Amino acid sequence: MGNYRSLRRTFVAGAILAVGLVWQVGLAQKAADDAKTGMATSETLGGHERFLTHLSTDKPLYRPGETLYVRGAILHHSTRKPLPQSGQVSALVEIKGPKGDTVASGFTGSQDSVLGYSWAIPAEQPGGEYTIKVTYPNPGHPPAERKFDIRAYRAPRLKSQIEFLRDGYGPGDQVMATLEVERAEGGVPADAKVTVIARVDGEEVYRGRTRLNEYGNCEARFPLPEEISRGEGTLAMVIEDGGIVETASKTIPILLQTVDLSMYPEGGELVAGLPNRVYFEAFTPAKKPADLAGIVVDADGREVARFNSEHEGRGRFEFTPEKDQSYSLKIVEPAGIDTLFSLPEVRAEGVVIRAEKDVYQAGEPVTFRLIGQPYQKGLKVTLSKREAEVGAGLSNFMRDEPGLPTVRYDLYSFFG
């Protein structure tokens, strides 16, 4: 039996959150094989004493003619300590345009472990999504990036926000969206008229009217066409507040043919005959979260489990795979995605790792369960934060009840 690894993820309040812990389970006598598992090392990530740059801007959206202000806090990757006074650095700051071309650049030095940079945006600068890129030619710290937008706009008289109830829709799906509006000077435009207009692939597919309630909210529901070619959808909601007419708009998240779907067995691999918990996350080709639902099927097309995302395209499901069988995820919602997404190969032997809780508080012992197939002794268990090991020990399985094909081991308070 070899070594098994996985990025642990936790399920909290409907969301999957990366905990930054890597679990490894393997036989103690094979501990020397750890270097062959392909885990990230301090060297591949930039060294033991690397410093990371956390970039921020004074606002996310700028107009041509305004000034962009950038701040970069440089902190140690593990301790979060700032650079020592004797180790202040010089950095190259580049502003990349929507096409990836460099539109501005310059060097800046850190002071008290903080970088500062400003760029006067030319009045003729075209709109779009821009990227700030910071690199360190001399000390070699890891680079950092942050995106911001440039748009030509006027200050609105009404503050409005459209939210879709799902992160993805397919052909024929019912779209549901809410609108929240308030006046810039304060107050709510209650009973204001709202015209709802939906366009898909350049054609108007829905037009309707509604009104804001006493809280400045309303909702819109409409079906998407059964056939969609390009998937370019826009929802516009025109608000009439007395003599003020303004439009709130947002892209409809239409999913066609495929999504980017990643799957993470909790113990790193699927093991036959054992209950396996699998986490997943889905994104659109534009790298936006994609809400979906579907079923897990075997090689013969039989359904063995169901799944659905809980928050921003993330979720988890559980099933017990069989030996010499293969499994795939089939998406049912949104409609129109025919691709089957293959799960990792099922191993005949191995170890499944399961956390006893979804979240652990600071200072609380980390507890989890190991389920092994077949019975083995002398397991080495290690707990790591990023690439740094924070705890390790040797443990043995305890046999389960007679007749069950698995061996279980409960680790109640191994690490604090």
- Percentage of the chain beyond pLDDT 70 is 81
Higher per-residue confidence, 404 vs 94: 94
The CA-based diameter of the chain, rounded to the nearest angstrom, is 79
Q: What is the pLDDT of residue 377?
A: 60
pLDDT at 137: 87
How many C-beta atoms lie closer than 10 Å to residue 18's C-beta?
A: 13
Nearest to 97 by CA among 73, 116, 124: 124
Rounded to a whole number of angstroms, the distance between the first and last alpha carbons of the chain is 28
- For 24-33, 75-84, 265-274, 334-343, which range has the lowest pLDDT when averaged over its residues? 24-33
pLDDT for residue 279: 94
Model confidence over 372-391: pLDDT tens digits?
A: 766 556 667 777 777 677 77
Say which amino acid occupies 349.
E
Task: Give me the pLDDT at residue 217, please.
Answer: 96
Give the model's confidence band at 336: pLDDT under 50 very low, under 70 low, under 90 confident, else very high. Answer: confident
Mean pLDDT for the chain overall: 81
pLDDT for the residue 389: 74
Q: State the Cα angle at 372 between 371 and 375, rounded to 5°.
A: 135
Q: What is the reported pLDDT for 231? A: 82
Q: What are phi and psi of 243, to 5 degrees?
A: -90, 0
- Read off the pTM: 0.61
- pLDDT tens per residue across span 220-265: 999 999 988 878 899 999 999 988 999 999 999 888 777 889 999 9
The letter for the amino acid at 342 is S
* Tokens coding 180: 């929240």
For 291-321, write each residue's pLDDT tens digit. Answer: 899 999 999 999 999 999 998 899 999 999 9
How far apart, in whole angstroms, are the C-alpha atoms of residue 272 and residue 276?
9
Highest mean pLDDT among 30-39, 156-165, 372-381, 398-407: 156-165
Domains and CATH numbers, the chain: 6-22+256-350 (2.60.40.10), 51-141 (2.60.40.1930), 169-252 (2.60.40.1930)
Instruction: Give the pLDDT score at 237.
Output: 96
Residues 6+ apart with CB under 8 A from 86: none
Binned at pLDDT 50, 70 and 90, residue 329 comes out as very high
Give the pLDDT confidence score for residue 397 in this predicted structure. 56
Q: Which pLDDT score is estimated for 268?
A: 85
pLDDT tens across 197-227, in order? 999 998 999 999 999 999 999 999 999 999 8
pLDDT at 134 over 90: yes
282 versus 385: which is more confidently predicted?
282
Lowest mean pLDDT among 61-70, 159-168, 226-235: 226-235
For the cut 90, the answer to whether the pLDDT of residue 394 exceeds it is no
- For the CA atoms of the chain, what is the radius of gyration? 26
Sequence-ordered list of residues with C-beta below 8 angstroms from that of 306, at least 6 positions apart, any chain = 293, 294, 295, 296, 317
